[in-house]
Homo-oligomer: A and B are copies of this chain.
Amino acid sequence: MTTTTETNARTTKATVTTTGDREVRIERVFNASRDRVWKAMTDPKLVAQWWGRGNKLDIEKLEVKRGGHWRFVEYSDHGVHGFEGRYAEVTPPERIVQTFEWDGMPGHVALDTCTLEDLGDGRTRLVTTSLFLTAQDRDAMLQSGMEGGVNESYAALDKLLAAMR
């Protein structure tokens, strides 16, 4: 059973699609209740365990409320990378709207709308729509290896959610 679970976790990929010329939509189903996914996305001690894909992650700020700021620093083999943004809307346990900015491209802000849908059988669908200022910003994000990074984060989140049972 353990082997099967690990295989499933390894082969579960997020569905990444583009809409218009400035949007990316990412959809992924998690084997956990909506409340548990919400907690893993908003509790700094839990976020530190999955967002960095196994890399050390400093949660410098995580003010989960409208107008609050967030800032994470990831220490990977490829260097130190800061990410930050601000919450536009926080509606537990179903919706977060926040900006996203990578230190490496300051000012190239995206607005991420994350919704958690309770699928009713102990599973939860997470859909994140990212709206960029320009088509160039959207395409640069896609070409940065975003999809691989998201899948690595979500695989780490799978493990955390299982451990939270």
Residue among B66, B101, B105, B108 making CB contact with A106, cutoff 8 Å: B66
Kindly identify, within residues 5 to 39 of chain A, every residue whose CB is under 8 Å from any CB belonging to chain B.
none
Tell yes or no: A46 within 8 A of B by CB: no
Binds B, one of A49-57, A84-92, A145-153, A155-163: A84-92
Alpha-carbon separation in the docked complex, A103 to B101 (Å): 17
Nearest Cβ on chain B to A101's Cβ, whole angstroms: 7
Tell yes or no: A98 within 8 A of B by CB: yes
Note all chain B residues with C-beta closer than 8 A to A87. 106-107
A67 and B103 within 8 A (CB): yes
Task: Give the interface size class of chain A.
Answer: 20 to 34
Number of copies: 2
B133 and A106 within 8 A (CB): no
Alpha-carbon separation in the docked complex, A106 to B66 (Å): 7
Note all chain B residues with C-beta closer than 8 A to A99. 107, 109
Cβ-closest chain B residue relative to A88: B107
Answer whether A88 and B106 are a contact pair too, CB < 8 Å, given A131-B133, A133-B131, A133-B133. Answer: yes
Kindly identify, within residues 95 to 146 of chain A, every residue whose CB is under 8 Å from any CB belonging to chain B.
97-99, 101, 103, 105-109, 111, 131, 133-134
Alpha-carbon separation in the docked complex, A106 to B68 (Å): 8
Nearest Cβ on chain B to A136's Cβ, whole angstroms: 12
Note all chain B residues with C-beta closer than 8 A to A101. 86
Note all chain B residues with C-beta closer than 8 A to A66. 106
